[in-house]
Chain A
Amino acid sequence: MRWPLALVPRAQPSLPLTWLSPVAAAVLTLLAGALLFFLMGKDPVQGLRVFVVEPLATQRGWSELALKATPLMLCAVGLTLCFRANVWNIGAEGQLIAGAIAGGSIALLATSRTSPAILPLILFCAALGGAGWAAITAWLRDRFNANEILVSLMLVYVAQLLLSWLVHGVLRDPQGFGFPQSKLFESTARMPVILAGTRLTIGFPVALATAALAWWVLARSLIGFQLKVAGLAPRAARYAGFSSRRVLWFVLLLSGALAGVAGALEATGPVGQLTPSISPGYGFAAIIVAFVGRLHPLGAIAASLLMALFYIGGELAQSRLGLPSALTGVYQGLLLFFLLTCDTFIAYRLQWRRNVPARA
């Protein structure tokens, strides 16, 4: 039996669908999620209310959303630049951890009398830490043509083990009853809260500003133009005389620095100390965010808010409905799955078989 529908290539990729696809994917994810609630014996309407509506019902809910979106946004903006340059940095998670270690180590030096000038220093060192971690990938790719996908991914696990080793050893809180975590940071080394009564820190406006700046870099700066050309047509980049090495180093160092800042904002923001599980996979989720945001820095803002909703919804579903917290991961996977499905229709359209011209 022949499938009555056929995929036919479009003459031109559809521009409206490019932006409708992530919206459709989000809707389909919620519908599939409702089905999932139903299959687990929960009322799907109530499930969706807990998952989607409740987090947005209060000011505190919105602030938590923005707080969760902050690291996702910072990582996704950096990854957007990488992916546009055809540099496949999969290791934002590792760069985030390296930044948390670097920034957190500075924060641990603070006392109750330390001046607020330490805060920019923390972020600066976190950026250095993240960029340094990404530099390993850049150097191996530049010098030995090592595959950046594998190298950056493997360095995630190295970073996780490094953090674990540090909080089991030199950075462990002596008064912490042997728990593998650092002492709590002094309040002088904590990121200031910008909305009283919430946990939302200056990290969020920093992330928004970063996304805007990245948009400017892509649209108006020479290096942004060079990285787009390097990603789209490497031969044209050579023709123009653009250095592919310069682009490689630029995007990896920049995305590493942004991920590093995200790590320090988490550590010195909502977490307040260094723990082995500083990130619930923000660096990986940011890969999905970058694509849902159409590899556009401003798209990454909306996409990171959506992804943050899934994180919070997953937590609420766990505490309120008694569902496993793995639900967040399932939603992430569903979102990516539906996005890839919907993206097919940017370049193809469905057609009834009998109208298809006879083809081999």
Chain B
Amino acid sequence: MTPRLALTGITKHYGDVAANADVTLAVMPGEILAVLGENGAGKSTLMKVVYGVARPDAGTIAIDGAAVEVTSPARARALGIAMVFQHFALFDTLAVGENIALGAPEYPLATIDGRIVELSRRYGLELDPRRTVHDLSVGERQRVEILRALMSNPRILILDEPTSVLTPQAVDRLFGTLRQLAADGVSIVFISHKLDEIRRLATRCAVMRGGRLVATVDPRAETEAGLARLMLGADPPTIAAHDSAPGDVALEVAGLTVRGPERRHWLHELAFTVRRGEIVGIAGVSGNGQSALMASLAGEWTGRAEAVRLFGDAVGDLGPSARRARGLRYVPEERLGHGAVPELSLLDNVLLTGDALHRRGVLRRDEAREYAEGVIRGFDVRTAGPQARAAALSGGNLQRFIVGREMHARPRVLVVDQPTWGVDVGAAAAIRNALIALRGDGCAILVVSEEIDELYQLSDRLMVISKGRLSPAVRARDVSVDELGRWMAGLWPSVAEARA
């Protein structure tokens, strides 16, 4: 049988980074194909190529056996490719029908409601075309997006992480719709990093890692742990030899429960400690509560005072600067706009967390310049100087600067989210070495990462976060990658078993 969509040797570079390297992949008519991979594995780039948002540097695309050039999303739609993006693009103040009509000029507004009702009946996407979008729930809004995609009778439907915003019930309904579409002959490409959903929905799963297609498997025949292992890579972890002697408890979390907006990102009764002179790593697929945990530790979110303790003091109700005053420093995952202000100079950016760099409401710019120069020298930040704008630095250099800025303050507790995310190899090694050196000085360090290798290199003890819960902490040398993969699906032994 001729594949509905065949990709051959797709390669796409962004600067020096190969987002896709020689990806060859086919989707059959009526097939549900899952594309699995970590953040940055190249899933989204591949779909952008298929949908005409990005042009490949090399490789060909064929539909029903005929080679095609997908030069734009409009061309993609004309070829029968439709895409539902993770972030909705709907006008809140317009009705459902009006929103859909905007994307389907071939249907006159007068008759579009009938077509919407017909499609929504057929695929179980109940929706009244006259309702205004801002009255709709998130799940209903996604139905609008899907209906919009279906208006052009696509032969290929791509969904980019469609379940990340949905409740479990809405996920069930979405899967019902997708199965029905597949039964009608539509080829479905489903991008996700949720292992259980892939196993429930897809008949084939393409696994991507580092821009390459590393495996194609039948997910129903794999365990979640097996899928996780494929996604994370099977390279044997290198464990740096630490002869650390952890000291007193520096950071203590007990009974930390957080419910975010949308009621999704829960943290459920987290409890752990980090001692002076040790690095504790937290593994897990992103979106399992890491951001809520980081915000709660850094003080961006506050809650019960006793939930977070620093050197015995309850600080859970204190803001970021009060926690910094007690020696806690935090490096967020997102560099631009969170860890640094892109439009401001490096000198200004040290003032963000430079509590000693102002006095009685007046900035001490000379001290700030010295501090920034110290960071630039000490952490080998390649830049023109403290006056350079943060946005002008490469990702790796800016990460060195931010990590350096927090380390330069000689923290007693350091919380780091994805220390080397999107950073070149050289900068990654420099940052990891700096973290190990800081541990040697007696700092308590908590590292959250999606990179298993990194966690093994750095951590004395490891935990896994899954669906807002934390596994017990174990010594890094006592746990295999296989086991961690199982834990990422939430299947860890109870505390008693772990101790046994």
Which A residues form the contact surface with B (CB < 8 A)?
Answer: 220-223, 225, 228-229, 232-233, 235-236, 238-241, 360
B362 touches A236 (CB 8 A): no
Q: How far is the CA of A233 from the CA of B321 in the complex (A)?
A: 17
| B365 interfacial contact with A, CB 8 Å | yes
* Contact residues in A for B299 (Cβ distance below 8 Å): 241
- Whole-angstrom CA separation of A221 from B332 in the bound complex: 26
The one of B321, B348, B362 that contacts A221, using a Cβ cutoff of 8 Å: B362
A232 contacts B338, CB within 8 Å?
Answer: no
B108 in the interface (beta carbon within 8 A): no
Complex A-B, nearest 10 residue pairs according to Cβ-Cβ distance, in ascending order: A241-B320, A360-B72, A241-B321, A240-B352, A233-B341, A235-B338, A233-B337, A222-B358, A222-B361, A241-B319
Given contacts A225-B351, A360-B52, contact A220 B365 (CB under 8 A): yes
Choice from B74, B339, B362, B365 contacting A239 with Cβ under 8 Å: B339
Q: Closest CB-CB distance, B230 to chain A, in whole Å?
A: 34
Main secondary structure of the interface of A (DSSP, over half): helix
Q: Find chain B residues with CB under 8 A from A233 CB.
A: 337-338, 341-343
Interface residues of chain B, those whose CB is within 8 Å of chain A, are 52, 71-75, 298-300, 319-322, 324, 330, 332, 334, 337-344, 348, 351-353, 358, 361-363, 365
> Among the listed B339, B342, B361, which residue makes an inter-chain contact with A223, where contact means beta carbons less than 8 Å apart?
B361
Which residues on A sit within 8 Å (CB–CB) of B342? Answer: 232-233
* Contact assessment for B300 and A238 in the assembled complex, using a CB-CB cutoff below 8 Å: yes
Pairwise interchain contact A221-B361, C-beta atoms closer than 8 A: yes
Contact call A236/B363, Cβ cutoff below 8 A = no
20 extra interchain contacts, Cβ-Cβ under 8 A, other than A232-B343, A236-B338, A239-B332?
Answer: A220-B365, A221-B361, A222-B358, A222-B361, A222-B362, A223-B361, A225-B348, A225-B363, A228-B344, A232-B341, A232-B344, A233-B338, A239-B300, A239-B338, A239-B352, A239-B353, A240-B321, A241-B324, A360-B52, A360-B71
CB–CB B337/A235 < 8 A: yes
Contact between B352 and A236, CB atoms less than 8 A apart = yes
Chain B contacts for A221, CB-based, 8 A: 361-363
Q: How far apart are the CA atoms of A235 and B334 in the complex, in Å? A: 10
Cα A68 to Cα B361 in complex, Å, equals: 34
- A222 vs B353: C-alpha distance when bound (angstroms): 12
Among A225, A238, A239, A360, the one with the most B-chain Cβ atoms within 10 Å of its Cβ is A239
Q: Given the known inter-chain contacts A225-B348, A225-B351, A229-B344, please indicate yes or no for A240 contacting B320, CB distance below 8 A.
A: yes
Contacts of B72 in A (CB 8 A): 360
What is the CA–CA distance of A221 and B298 in the complex, to the nearest angstrom?
Answer: 25
Chain A residues, CB < 8 A from B75: 360
A239 touches B358 (CB 8 A): no
Q: Name the A residues within 8 Å of B353 (CB-CB).
A: 239-240
Q: How far is the CA of A34 from the CA of B437 in the complex (A)?
A: 70
Supply 5 A–B pairs (Cβ within 8 Å), ascending by A.
A221-B362, A232-B342, A235-B338, A236-B341, A240-B320
